[in-house]
Structures are given as structure tokens and as C-alpha cells.
Amino acid sequence: MQRDELKKKLILTVLNVKVNLNNNFNYSKRLMIKTAVVGATGMVGRTMMKVLEERNFPVSQLIPAASERSVGKEVIFKGKAVKVVSVMEAVEARPEFAIFSAGASISKEWAPVFAKNGTVVIDNSSYWRMDKNIPLIVPEINSHVIKKGDRIIANPNCSTIQLVMALAPLHRKYKIKRLVVSTYQSVTGTGVKAVAQMENERLGIKGEMAYAHPIDKNCFPHGGSFQPDGYTTEEQKLIDETRKILEDQTIQVTATVVRIPVVGGHSEAVNIEFEKDFNIDDVRQLIGRFPGVIVYDNPSENKYPMPIMAHNRDEVFVGRIRRDLSKEKCLNIWIVSDNIRKGAATNAVQIAEYMVANKLY
């Protein structure tokens, strides 16, 4: 563990980039917002509370909610212990915002209940994402589609978020025709059970299996469940959500999802075919200027994004930027981001920040 921490410190020093964990909003001291986190005891839920605290979101009262087996347990928020309540108790508290990370079945059942009670739900599950009436939001890209009166906002899949953060500025200038995406996804995307499986395997301990196969010293092309066409649900999310967020159904997308034994974040190898030809220096500048994205790309000095670099960071890192020499108007890039932070918790909190700043709640 100490060696890993030293590695991370070294990487941060090499990057020479200051991370600003505070938001850009100057909240009124009188602005106080009651906020629920549904799924508060899970990996993403705990990170959501951490991000709310780090970004100084004006929480007047935190309402951590979870399943019945977790009711009465305590979570820590701003140095104080807060008791976990049931989802129904959270509804009855009438929070202004409820940030969900409790799975699709819970979101299906409870998001409309909160919404009917006047609460804005920001949902991290897959349930509402492709509903044509529900905004699917990455704030840096398409916050303009949120309207006052929207009561359910969908948070995209983690692998989609980091992908579109790198693609958005390029699509606006060169128009993307086709994407070939291969992901190398952290076990944290599956949750605590998967992390425990990996750690047990490394220690030679037999324990509960989150996957059908060993994950340590292994990788497998399986994320989500397989569909009749041979693609997985995780691969289908990349296809559908990318088109919706970039507001272009003509983009052709094919994807392969691979699970790998790391915890720092997801990585993606992306081949992009454009309608228009591009200048490689312009590509670097467009990506590097986009909010929340850092170009880290100097292969001659072994500088390229890695999960160990992205761990506990909010930025999306892009490297290995190069032309595809096998075909005209094609580009290869490598994208890495912490799937629990920007890929889930941070993006959800940013949505709430945007709605508060623009008085849309």
C-alpha cells in the first residue's frame, strides 16, 4: 500500500497539474439545500457524499438512505455521524435533490415517487438513460437540454462519460462518422464484491465470486450481460448513450468491453473516423482546452494516461493521440478516468450544481 501511494505521488509530481476540487459556483450563504443520497452505504454512494463535501455543495441536511438492512447504520459527512434512513423516510423528508446510486430496480420504483413529491432525482442507474423524456447529462457537454421542471435527470454510464468528454470538442469541429471503442474496465465498476474477489485471489483466500472467472492476473471480454446479438449490455450503453449525449444518431459505434484487475479507473482505446480531415496539433488543442480534460501525451518519455494516475481524480486524461495510418480521416486516442469519481459521483454532483446555479430545481 505504501509503495502504491509513493507511485501516485510521483505521478502527480510529474504531471505538475493542480487539481481544483472546489466548484466554480459562489453559493449564497443563505442558500441551503436538503439533499438525499439513495444507496449511501455503497461504493459510489459514499463517494457521492465525499464529493458533495469537497465541492462545498450547500447541503443544509444530508439524508443518507439505503436498504432496510442498512437502516440505523451511520455514515460520516463533514466529520459528523449521520444515521441511514429508509428510502420512504427520505421521500417524506422532501429533499430538494435525491442523488441515486442503488441500482435500476430501486430507481424504477422510487425515482417517480421522489419526483412526484417535488424532488429532483439525479439517477446513476441505467434505468432512465434512454427514456426520450429524460435528459442524459454530462454538464460540460449538454447541460443546455435540462429544463426547469425536469424532475428526473439521468447520469450516464461511467465508460460513456469519459468517452464523450474527449469526443465532444472533436465532434463539433470535424463531425464523427464512426467509433471503434475497446474498454479496459476497473473491477470497481462492478462494486465492492468484485474488489474483494480480486484482493482475496491475490492473498490466496477462497471467497465469494463476483465474476464467473478469476480476475487477478486475468482479463475477460465481459461486462454486463450478453444480449442475443452477442454484444453485452455495457457495450450497448456505449453505443446508445454516446449518440444521445452528442445529439447525433448518425454516429456509428461498435464496442468491446474488457474487465481488468485494477482499481484506479477505466481505460479506453478509441479509433475515430471523421467526416472532415483534421490537423493533429489542432486535435490536441481542442481536447486539451475542453473543461475537465487533460492531455498527457509524450510517449518518448513514457508519459501516457494510466489508471494509477486517474485514481481519486476528477479529470479525464487523454494520450496516445495519433493518426490512424491505415485509413484517411481517422484518429487513435487513449482515454483514462476514475470511474467512481467523474464516471459516477462527481458528474452527478456537477448536475446538481448546474441546476442550482441556474435555478432549475
Active site residues: 158, 266
Reported as type and span, the H/E element at residue 74 is: strand 74-77
**Widest Cα–Cα separation across the chain:** 60
Q: Which three cell numbers mark 203? A: 492473498
Buried b (16+ CB within 10 A) or exposed e, 11-44: beeebeeeeeeebeeeeeeeeebbbbbbbbbbbb
- Distance between CA atoms of 236 and 86, rounded to whole angstroms? 33
Using N-to-C axis directions, what is the helix angle for 43-54 and 346-357, rounded to 10°?
Answer: 40
Instruction: Look at residue 298 and give its three-state secondary structure.
Output: strand
Please list, in sequence order, all residues whose beta carbon lies within 8 angstroms of the beta carbon of residue 324, skipping any fewer than 6 positions away. Answer: 271, 330, 331, 332
Q: Strand pairing partners for 77?
A: 80
For residues 218 and 197, the answer to whether their CB atoms sit within 8 Å is no
Quickly count: other Cβ atoms within 10 Å of residue 167's Cβ.
Answer: 24
For residues 356 and 31, the answer to whether their CB atoms sit within 8 Å is yes
- Distance between CA atoms of 71 and 319, rounded to whole angstroms? 44
Q: Given the DSSP bridges, would you call strands 74-77 and 33-38 parallel, antiparallel or unpaired?
A: unpaired
